[in-house]
Structure 1
């Protein structure tokens, strides 16, 4: 059975969702941990569901961005939890110095408030898992799906018994059943890989998705299709602004207005707009898409 825990990032609901899976008697699994700043909230969430945090034996990392697995080291340290991640991410869980350096350049003195502390995980508690690997935990069986596009170290996880995919960020951000939107943070955005990753998930014909921002998606194929269209539409919108001679700083407020209008046009309640922005900041998407165009298609931008 799958349970969901709202990590209440910065005290706000509906931004970061952690999945808890019952794998057997006294054997629990988390998909992602959230940042270290929400560790105690998630621990208490496990207790409120009637379980013991010490029974969380396994943690599947979708990828190593701090909002997803910045707190994984606390689970390893406090409860002996084993952490499973793509090989490209596993090394950075063992030695997070490069990850911290990169994040600090982006977030500066907000690092502690946003994400809490970052610590290393002992090598013997980190298991690197490749595409298509089968993981058996108690009565449950997961399959690893390497799903780059949002990040080079991104994996999703197929839980056969529930016919669901724990999709991290590759299936986008979707608040209260609203439209799915793509998070485009630097440095790894690659649209062509993202399209292939969505195709891989689509082929499984899942009954549902579980995403970190936010929760269960009960009608997955239309959501995947809508997300794929939006990925390329938004990327081209950014490209057009560069062709018009705009700088990144000039594009950010324009892009925020553009995305707000698109969300409103699809029936998103006004009160959900801030939650979308918290989960998927416009400034991050502009930076990520700027890097994508300049790195992979420099002939298409000035």
Structure 2
């Protein structure tokens, strides 16, 4: 309880803290440079140049894994961390944008797998930032091992665990200066899956950005979704929730899942209010195909 109250106080005081890092350049690296650099490259740790997404939000991830930086006058927020091998390039991208990594205050996560949080410990050590996650993700983030109910348990390598400073509940809003980040419980790909939404503005043009967690029904060898109807029901509830999210600019933990680089390269296609519905609909169809294949006797 004391730790939670202390972090709540820190979040509140963040609104009063001055940002000491340099202001990001008016002309941030373009999405075209990112798309070109990552053409035919999608490795989890493949370095990529940073790019502006919209307003105060920037891409600082790799060619294969999204990491999003949000700038506020009270400090920086990072969503996801890619792999430990990618941590140096993430820090370099933050610096290339004109920011000081030491000014990263909070580290948020989508889901608790090596390719998205493997670099969390290294970034926590480099920045001193505090990790915030849903309660369902804490055990895996702390131990570095997927939970027993995770479909990919046993099929994905471990990572260095981290200290989680605070938990956030479904629908809870983090208030950091003028930034309002809302956490959405979206379990399925993992038990602790979390999506995030916030408003970002360029002058009077404001858009809702949705960082929506992976929705793919993949598993370790031997796992059958048809044997876990309760988990399948949770997955389906997540699809419905994602379809209803406020969502003008969609970002996904694997950028290719939402054609992010192509959209950043062509700003006219960046925003689409139907994108979350389309993303969920595609995932629903793939889960149905997986269940059908598991129910069909082998020939």
Q: Which residue of 2 aligns with 1:193?
A: 234
Matched, 1:20 2:55: no
The aligned counterpart of 1:85 is 133
For normalisation by structure 2, the TM-score amounts to 0.63
Q: Deviation per CA, 1:19-38, whole angstroms, max 9, x where unpaired?
A: 1100115x111110112121
The within-5 A match list for 1:112-131 is: 118-122=159-163, 125-131=164-170
Residue of structure 2 in register with 1:271 after alignment = none
- 1:104 and 1:132 mapped to 2: Cα distance? 27
Q: What corresponds to 2:183 in structure 1?
A: 144
The 5-angstrom pairing of residues 6-85 of structure 1 reads: 9-11=44-46, 14-24=63-73, 27-85=75-133
1:1-302 alignment to 2 at 5 Å? 9-11=44-46, 14-24=63-73, 27-97=75-145, 105-107=154-156, 111=157, 118-122=159-163, 125-161=164-200, 162-170=207-215, 182=216, 184-185=218-219, 190-214=231-255, 215=260, 218-246=270-298
Equivalence for 1:294? none
Counterpart-to-counterpart distance in 2, 1:148 and 1:129: 14
Runs of 5+ unmatched residues, structure 1 = 112-116, 171-181, 248-302
Offset of residue 202 of structure 1: 3.5
Offset of residue 10 of structure 1: 4.2
Q: How many residues align?
A: 224
Contact 2:80–2:120 (CA under 8 A) maintained in structure 1: yes
- Report the RMSD for the aligned CA atoms in angstroms: 3.4
Quote the offset at 1:142 in angstroms: 0.7
TM-superposed deviation, 1:99: 5.9
Contact residue 188 and residue 217 of structure 2 kept, 8 A: no
155-164 or 52-61, which moves further after superposition? Answer: 155-164
Return the alpha-carbon distance in structure 2 between the equivalents of residues 82 and 42 of structure 1.
17
Alpha-carbon deviation of 1:243?
Answer: 4.4
Q: Which structure shows the bigger proportion of residues in helix conformation? A: 1
Task: Quote the offset at 1:72 in angstroms.
Answer: 0.9
TM-score of the superposition, structure 1-length normalised? 0.62
Contact 1:93/1:126, CA 8 A, preserved across alignment:
no
Can you give the 5+ residue segments of structure 2 that lack an aligned partner in the other structure? 1-23, 48-61, 201-206, 226-230, 264-269
